[in-house]
């Protein structure tokens, strides 16, 4: 395992929060995401032009994942 053979609860929780948050961010930022491509084709927009609308929410998810991971690491 990447976090060691016997991680404590805080390490496990913080790693899970970070992996879930940044996995979601990566999924939403990839131009291969099916919903992203279909929506771009339907509204006749460029795929990369839509990034300006989702960059704010994506940044908030990343910040919240970092904060939650830090809280879990400190609290447990």
Asked whether residue 1 is assigned to any structural domain, the reply reads no
69: exposed, middle or buried (Cβ count in 10 Å: 0-12, 13-18, 19+) = buried
Asked whether residue 44 is assigned to any structural domain, the reply reads yes
- Which tens digits make up the pLDDT trace of 2-15? 777 888 888 888 99
Asked whether residue 60 is assigned to any structural domain, the reply reads yes
**Per-residue confidence (pLDDT) for residue 1, from 0 to 100:** 58
- Which tens digits make up the pLDDT trace of 15-70? 999 999 999 999 888 877 787 778 888 888 877 777 888 899 999 999 999 999 99
**Could you tell me the residue range of the domain that residue 69 belongs to?**
9-75
- Look up the pTM and report it: 0.75
Asked whether residue 2 is assigned to any structural domain, the reply reads no
Asked whether residue 4 is assigned to any structural domain, the reply reads no
Specify the number of domains making up the chain.
1
């Amino acid at each position: 395992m990447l976090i060691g053979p016997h991680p404590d609860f805080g390490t496990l929780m913080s790693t899970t929060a970070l992996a879930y948050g940044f996995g979601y961010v990566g999924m939403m930022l990839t131009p291969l995401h099916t919903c992203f491509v279909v929506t771009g084709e339907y509204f006749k927009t460029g795929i990369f032009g839509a990034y300006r609308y989702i960059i704010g929410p994506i940044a908030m998810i990343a910040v919240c994942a970092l904060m939650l991971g830090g809280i879990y690491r400190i609290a447990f």
